Amino acid sequence: MLEKLGLFPAAASTHAGRVDALYLFLIGVSAFFAILIATLIVVFAFKYRRRSDDEQPKLIEGSLALELTWSIVPFGIAMLIFLWGAQLFVSLKTPPKNALDVFVVGRQWMWKVQHLEGRREIDELHVPVGRPVKLTLTSEDVIHSFFVPAFRIKQDAVPGRYTEEWFEATAVGSYHLFCSQYCGTEHSRMIGRVVVMEPADYQAWLSGDGRPAAGANAALATNAAAVSVATAGEGLFKDLGCATCHKSKPGALGPSLAGVFGSQVQLQSGASVAADESYLRESILNPDAKIVAGYQPVMPTFQGQVSEEDLLQLITYIKTLRSS
Amino acid sequence: MTSPAHAEAHAAHAEHHQLGFVRTYLFSTDHKMIGRQFLFMALFMMIIGGSLALMMRWELAWPEGNVGPEPNAATRVLLKLFGDASSGDLPIPFTKWIPEPYMYAGHMPPEFYNAAFTMHATIMIFFVVMPILVGCFGNFLIPLMIGARDMAFPFLNMLSFWVGAVAGVLMLAAFFVPGGAAAGGWTSYAPLSAVPTYTGVTWGQNLWCISLIVLGASSLMGSINYITTIINMRAPGMTYFRLPLTVWSLFITAVLLLLALPVLTAALAMLLLDRMAGTSFFLPAGGGEPLLWQHLFWFFGHPEVYIMILPGMGIASEILPVFARKPIFGYRAMAFSMIGIAFLGWIVWGHHMFQSGMNPTLGTSFMISTMVIAVPSAIKTFNWLGTLWGGNIRFTIPMLFALGFVAMFVIGGLSGIFMASTPVDIFIHDTYFIVAHIHYVLFGGSIFAIFGAIYFWFPKMFGRMMNNFLGYVHFWGTLIFYNGTFFPMHIIGIGGHMRRIYNPMQYEFLHPLQHWNVFMTVSALGLGLAQIPFVINFLYSLFFGPKAERNPWHSNTLEWVAVTPPPHGNFGPTLPTVYRGPYEYSSPGVEEDYLPQDRLLSDRPAHAH
Ligand code: HEM
Ligand SMILES: [Cu+2]
Ligand SMILES: [Cu+2]
């Protein structure tokens, strides 16, 4: 609706309508107050301008009733906006369980995207229409921000941690993807696109025999297409020697990782921590930060040996390990 | 017995004999001279900051000198004047002298654009708005308005200015070091700012940190002085609730400065260590946390924005009653709402970080604290309107700027609500909507208040009146071109135009909005030209303006009781005694429509405010 007014770019996600409605409401409230105040200033300026030099205005030092009115009414409106905004915000920030996972790594000055099935792309993101997609973002260098105006989403990709964002595209097509956080000299060239496809086309694209990927993506896409992220992670898990300590045998040097993802881990310090992606990441890069109860701080750090993509692969692999 | 006026003149005269040029004009410990020094330094810095802004605007309208296929009429005129009509090349005028690699024959590379917006904002915030509001008017007005002879610590006061001047030199020096000036944005988010190779800037960024650390020391000296002076040196009878609202606002500002600046200083020191000593406070590879910078920066940064607007609010509250010839509406509510804003200002910093991946519950708490600030702001706005209501308004230049302040502050405040609403902020964060907001509060707010204050107190500061005609031209030119420059930023921001992008034409998506960029740039040029009558007026009136009388606006506060311009020691042999609040205009039973704070009415009991 708003795009017709030329006020907002095209709307192509389930978020868009809900954000635009709140926006429109705010426009209404602001227009009301702006016009009210502007009118009062102009009317007072004419009505109460000085007509003669010895005229003396009536003495008014204040009015409690009026002051209470203009405290309570704005307070009520502010709380209304808060309630509306807060519930919308929480729902915009809570990805549905069935969302498709996609990993995004930012770096100066490009977006690297990795699909679970193994396909990779640069500065492009292919997704199916009508299905929630959850992005897990991080960065290799500075902070970037993943901004798709048509979806009304924007999320910083912060080095050293994972952030997430989700959306559900509602129309097939190609949409602009920008970096909105200033990230250095060529920030304004960090431009990409999101391609929304019919689910069948998306499946075909994933397996690499769909439309050929354009330009720089072609080489990357074809050679990586075969291996899924989890399989690649399994390979790394072996190559880096993780498996030598993390075995499900009694007496192993490291705890078994089967079923660890999503569980509560008991720590040596007595505290317990929810094992999410960030915890796994920290345990690989900075193993001494949190020692699991019953184990020694013997694990070496893998900082510098694994790239952000390797980490995502390892974590995805660990997530597939179910407790038997 | 000599008359008081004679004694004052004599004292002032003696002063000149005692102190030579250096002690009178350079290393003066007189609060009024220090205030003037801050004013001159800041106006000079404003020219630099403004030139950088105009260069950026030029680049945004005609990126890399390219006027596009269908230049509009204004562009064609500029092309005739400054460009090459045959090739459609429109380099930035008057910049050919800037050598490579900063500029290429009037064409700006992205490195320089990034340094320009970083330095523009840093200069405007730290070396223009703060020095004028706090350094100049804080210094000039506090002792005069509370009826004191000087600041509590005059020597510290002098030091505060000169340390600030050193900071200014360090900041400007950054333009001349290899690698160029800082280019991390005025917010200098780590890790971008923490590792030289990420921006390619080396000493520029180091100097930026060092300059702001030094400036922090200057501000601390100032704020300690203000707080001590206001608490201890009020004239007899000057109770807290008889203080002019300007003094209230400067008092609260000084407290905010005292508490907020050390946080910035600590963060800057950590950043400098990360850059130069190999620490990893903000670098994840060494176990550091990039978001720590944002928390520290905005924990300082949000109070900082109130540091820049509260004195403006105080100034507007001073000017409106004088020219409406009415008491300020709800004096106590005005003071308490400023205190409320100052308290709330400490618990809202997270609203700058909604997109950083913060937990939605935390985001929601920052959302509600931010929303609540709307209430004291609304109280202030409506009380200003209440002050006009039923008044007897004189449209002097300061009054026009004060009215402009109220109107522009309302727009800036309302756009703040959009950004406080997290779902909408997800969309507009880091777009031009933010740039619009910043400028409505800092230009429409602080700078309008600064202009109002300069026109209002110029007679007291320099003993001469400013010219009215040039003042009207300045006001209307500024108001119109200011809105032309900044209002469309809301529209393009909602259209998805990001901030801090060097070349909008790189984005096919933004092509339909490009005509706005041209429009805003032409308005910005108008805004720049509209400042010329001000410069002429200021300089001409300084030397040749008509001599000002003691109280040209018929105002009540104590600075107008002192002779014009006030001598060393301000008030002659005895300090004034205060009998009433500062805003008793048009009181019944008084002959004139004003009643100075120090006038004793024998037939009427003193009216406590
Ligand atoms: C002639 C008047 C002015 C013009 C034309 C102007 C223009 C601009 C432009 C083009 C930008 C950069 C936008 C981008 O991110 O790409 C900017 C940023 C900014 N300006 Fe101004 N400006 C003016 C006056 C002021 C004043 C008086 C202040 C402060 C009191 C100010 C404070 C800022 C701030 C805080 C930013 C944000 C910088 C950032 O995001 O890093 N500006 N301005
Ligand atoms: Cu970027
Ligand atoms: Cu803030």
Q: Is residue A231 part of a domain?
A: no
CB nearest B382 (choices: A26, A70, A304): A70
> Among candidates B295, B499, B6, B535, which has minimal Cα distance to A179?
B499
- Answer yes or no: is A157 within a domain: yes
Nearest to B171 by CA among B130, B230, B221: B130
Which is higher by pLDDT, A300 or B283? B283
Are B584 and B556 in contact by the 8 Å Cβ rule? The answer is: yes
Neighboring chain B residues of A304 at a CB cutoff of 8 Å: 285
Task: List residues bridging with A49 in a β-sheet.
Answer: B393
Judge residue A63's burial from the number of C-beta atoms within 10 Å of its C-beta, 0-12 exposed, 13-18 middle, 19 or more buried.
middle
Q: Percent of chain A scored above 70 by pLDDT?
A: 90
The count of other CB atoms within 10 Å of the CB of residue B491 is 17
Contact at 8 Å (CB) between B120 and B47? no
Q: Let me know whether A220 and A157 are in one domain.
A: yes
Which of A224, A255, A277 delimits the end of a domain?
A: A224
Q: Is B56 in the pocket of ligand 1 (CB under 6 A)?
A: yes
User: Is it the case that residue B187 has pLDDT exceeding 50?
Assistant: yes
CA distances from B303 to A174, B252, B299 (A): 42, 11, 7
Q: Are residues A131 and A196 both part of a single domain?
A: yes
Query: Does a structural domain hold residue A294?
Result: yes
Q: Is residue B598 part of a domain?
A: no
In terms of domains, do A134 and A27 share one? no
Query: What distance, in Å, lies between the first and last C-alpha atoms of chain B?
Result: 36
Q: What is the CATH number of the domain that holds A137?
A: 2.60.40.420
Residue B524 Cβ inside 6 Å of ligand 1? The answer reads yes
Instruction: Give tens-digit pLDDT for B351-371.
Output: 999 999 888 889 999 999 999
Domain, as residue range, for B185? 31-61+109-560
Cβ B188 under 6 angstroms from ligand 1: no
Rounded percentage of chain B residues whose pLDDT exceeds 70: 96
The pTM score is: 0.88
Q: What was the pLDDT predicted at B18? A: 66
In the structure, ligand 3 is a single-atom ion and the residues with CB under 5 Å from it are B 302
A150 and A87 in a common domain: no
Establish if B576 belongs to a structural domain.
no
User: In sequence order, what are the beta bridge partners of A133?
Assistant: A100, A167
A120 and A82 in a single domain? The answer is: no
Domain shared by A114 and A215, yes or no: yes
B120 lines ligand 1 (CB under 6 A): yes
In this structure, are A158 and A213 located in the same domain?
Answer: yes
Interchain CB distance below 8 Å, A48 and B389:
yes
On whether the CB atoms of residues B563 and B550 are closer than 8 A, the answer is yes
Q: What is the structure's pLDDT at A46?
A: 85
Structural domain count, chain B: 1
Indicate whether B180 belongs to any domain.
yes
Please, which pLDDT band fits residue B469 given cuts at 50, 70 and 90?
Answer: very high
Alpha-carbon gap, residue A8 to A6, rounded angstroms: 6
| Residue B14 lies inside a defined structural domain of this protein | no
Selecting from A78, A153, A191 the residue whose C-beta is nearest the C-beta of B426 gives A153
Residue B253, pLDDT above cutoff 90: yes
How many structural domains compose chain A?
Answer: 3
ipTM of the assembly? 0.87
B372/A86 Cβ within 8 A: no
**Residue A247 maps to a domain:** yes
Distance between B147 CA and the closest CA of chain A, angstroms? 24
The DSSP annotation for B439-489 comes to HHHIIIIIIHHHHHHHHHHHHHHHSBPPPHHHHHHHHHHHHHHHHHHHHHH
Distance from CA of A14 to the nearest CA of B (A): 13
Q: Ligand 2 being an ion, which residues bring their Cβ within 5 A of it?
A: A 144, 179, 183, 187, 190
The residue from A195, A224, A253 where one domain ends is A224
pLDDT at res. B449: 96
Q: Give me the domain span that covers residue A299.
A: 240-320
> What is residue A259's predicted lDDT score, i.e. its pLDDT?
83
Among A267-271, B129-133, B594-598, the range of highest mean pLDDT: B129-133
The pLDDT of residue B72 is 86
pLDDT value at B564 more than 90: no
- Domain membership of residue B574 (yes or no) is no
Q: Using the beta-carbon criterion (under 8 Å), do B371 and A82 form an inter-chain contact?
A: yes
Same domain (yes/no): A179, A264: no
Q: Which residue's CA lies nearest to atom 23 of ligand 1?
A: B53
Question: Which ligand is the nearest neighbour of the Cα of B198?
Answer: 2
- In this structure, of A275-279, B216-220, B414-418, B467-471, the range with the lowest mean pLDDT score is A275-279
Q: Is B126 in the pocket of ligand 1 (CB under 6 A)?
A: no
Closest CA to A53 of B325, B590, B322, B242: B325
Nearest to A185 among B111, B288, B504 (CB): B111
- Residue A125 is given by DSSP the state E
Kindly state whether residue B432 falls inside one of the protein's structural domains: yes
Q: Does B588 reside within a domain?
A: no
Q: How far is B243 from B581, CA to CA, in rounded Å? A: 7
Verify that A191 and A293 share a domain, yes or no. no
* B16-54 pLDDT per residue, tens: 456 777 777 778 889 999 999 999 999 999 999 999 999
Which pLDDT band holds residue B609 (cuts at 50, 70, 90)? Answer: very low
The CATH number for A263's domain is: 1.10.760.10
CB A191 within 8 A of CB A203: no
Q: Residue B3: inside a domain, yes or no?
A: no
What pLDDT was estimated at residue A5? 54
Is the residue at A256 inside a domain?
yes
What CATH number does residue B299 fall under? Answer: 1.20.210.10
Question: What's the CA gap between B497 and B109, in Å, rounded?
Answer: 20
Tell me: do A200 and A110 sit in the same domain: yes
How confident is residue B262, by pLDDT bands cut at 50, 70 and 90? very high
Residues 6+ apart with CB under 8 A from B179: B196, B200, B201, B202, B203, B204
Position A177 in a domain: yes
